[in-house]
Amino acid sequence: MSAAFRTIDPGSAIDVDPGRLPMTDRACLRFIVRSGVVTSGQLAQLVYAKPRHAQKRLLQLHRAMLLDRAPIGDTPPGRAEFAYRLGLVGHQRLGTRRTPAPPTYTRHMLDTVDAVIALNRSDDREHPPVQLWLTDAMTADVLGRFVRPDSIVLVTTEAGSAVLALEIDEGTEHSRTIRAKLAAYRRPLSTRPNWHLVVVVPTQARAVWMARQVGSLDLGPRTWVVTRAALGRDSLEVELLALIPRTSPRSIRSLLKPSARLLPAPVGSRAWLELLAAGVGEPQDGALAP
C-alpha cells in the first residue's frame, strides 16, 4: 500500500442508515469487519458480482463515512482501485470494534483474501467450492492456543472435501520465525487426517527456500507450499510442493476425499450474503471435523 486510509471530509458526507441499505451493502460491511481490509475488485467477486456496481456502491459507503479507503499503489495507470476498511463511523453504526491493522499488514490481509478467492473460483456462484471460510479474526483457538492460521477454508467438489489451514507468507519473515510458526502445526495436524496446511508464498524461489528451511521439522505428509501466482492462475488444479522431503507434488483437487461436506451457505452464494447481512454466523454442521 502506498498511501494511508482516509475518511471523507465530513462536509461532503451523506447520512445513511446501515439498516436501510440493500442486502449486499450490509453483507459488504460485515465482510469487511471479518477480513479487515478488502479491495473493490475482491468485493466485486465475493459480493457484488459486477465491478462497476461494486465501485458505485463502495463510493456511496465511503461518502456515508462508513468506509475509509486508500489507493493501491500497484494499480495500472487509468485503472485506479482502492482498498477499503470499516471507518470509525462504520464501527459505531454496526456496534463493532477492531483496531486497524498497521499499513505493513494491509498487503498481507489483501493477499489472504486473494488466496481464498482463487480457491473459490467457479462458474456457478450458488455452488462454489469453498463451503466455509474462517478469516484470521475467527481462527483463534480452532487449532489450539498456539496456532492461528491466516484463514481456514473447507473446500468441497464432487471428489470430496478437505479443510485447508492457510498461512500467507510475504517473504519478509526470517527462518527462525517461520520454523517456530509452522512447527506449531505438527500436533493439531497429526490428529486431523482431513486437514492440510498450505503456505502461500510470493515466488517460486521462496517456495523452494521454505521447503528447505522446514524440511527437518517432521510436519507430516499434509503440509504444502504454493506461489500466489500459481494459485491465482490454476485454482484447485495448482501443483503443491510438499514441505517434507521425498514427497511428490499434488494438486489441491487431489487432496479432496469422500465424503463431500456441503453446507447451505457456501462462500459467495446468496445464502452466504444474507447471513452476513443479518450479522449472524454460518452453520458449520461439523464441517471442520478431523
Predicted pLDDT at 103: 67
Kindly report which listed range (62-66, 131-135, 222-226) carries the lowest average pLDDT score.
Answer: 62-66
Report the pLDDT value the prediction gives residue 79, as an integer from 0 to 100: 63
Backbone angle region of 95, left / alpha / beta, with phi > 0 → left and psi within -120 to 50 → alpha = left
pLDDT of residue 75: 59
Q: How far apart are CA 167 and CA 185, in angstroms?
A: 11
pLDDT for the residue numbered 112: 97
pLDDT digits (tens, 9 = 90+) for 74-96: 655 556 689 999 998 899 988 88
Could you give the maximum distance between any two Cα atoms of the chain, in Å? 63
Beta strands, E only, the chain: 38-39, 67-71, 82-86, 130-135, 151-157, 160-168, 195-201, 223-227, 239-242, 250-251
Average predicted confidence (pLDDT) for the chain: 92
Q: What pLDDT digit, counting tens, does each position of 145-178 carry? A: 889 999 999 999 999 999 999 999 999 999 999 9
pLDDT the model gives residue 77: 57
- Sorted by where each begins, the domain ranges of the chain are 10-100, 105-255
Give the pLDDT score at 116.
Answer: 98
Predicted pLDDT of residue 76:
59
- Residue written as cell 484447485? 236
Q: Residue 214: exposed, middle, or buried by beta-carbon count in 10 A (0-12, 13-18, 19+)?
A: buried
pLDDT in tens, 186-240: 999 999 999 999 999 999 999 999 999 998 898 999 999 999 999 999 999 999 9
Q: Alpha carbon of 17 to those of 25, 26, 69, 169: distances in Å?
A: 11, 10, 20, 39
Sheet holding 151-157, edge to edge: 130-135, 151-157, 160-168, 195-201, 223-227, 239-242, 250-251
CATH match for 10-100 among 1.10.10.10, 3.40.190.10, 3.40.50.920, 3.40.50.12280: 1.10.10.10
Cβ of 52: how many Cβ atoms within 10 Å? 10
How does residue 245 score in pLDDT terms, banded at 50, 70 and 90? confident
CA distance 240 to 209: 14
Return the CATH number of the domain spanning residue range 105-255: 3.40.1350
